[in-house]
Chains A and B, each alone.
Chain A
Amino acid sequence: EPEVTQTPSHQVTQMGQEVILRCVPISNHLYFYWYRQILGQKVEFLVSFYNNEISEKSEIFDDQFSVERPDGSNFTLKIRSTKLEDSAMYFCASSAAGGAAGELFFGEGSRLTVL
């Protein structure tokens, strides 16, 4: 069964360092997303991406964050200068359609720990 894959599964970094989280969405999907979940808290929307551009983003997704689809298969989330509060599980998701018709398929997550 097709699935969303994410790497790395766990990354430990020093505050101020750049981090890139990678995702391979399901191959025929057109909509891509990043969500995050701080330990013990709700899952929060970060950004959605369609047709090679950001379609929606939340207040969390500030100038320190960026997304890119560098080729036909990968979808990346970059955090330029990590802060302690960026420590969280980051989930990538993809869907074949947007809006109400779009069932999201989530990856297993990348756990980011900022020291």
Chain B
Amino acid sequence: TQLLEQSPQFLSIQEGENLTVYCNSSSVFSSLQWYRQEPGEGPVLLVTVVTGGEVKKLKRLTFQFGDARKDSSLHITAAQPGDTGLYLCAGARNYGGSQGNLIFGKGTKLSVKP
């Protein structure tokens, strides 16, 4: 069974601090996606990483896919209260075509205090 271990589960920091969220697995994924979910809403895709070692930046967010495509990290620089939310990583099981067979991590609930 493929599992995605996400850590930490909870993170409470002050505005301006940096943080890193990790997503680890013993399995290889064809791609890995990061989502942000607000309470009572569906997840919103932030980024998809496909190539081992790939690094993508989205403003203050930096995403990295491990060389072996088994792990990923999300780093937020100078966190702001607007970054508060549930961050989910999800690994795609199928190569090419449908990426709906996603395995989700349990999420990291981030709270950024002003």
Chain B binds chain A:
no
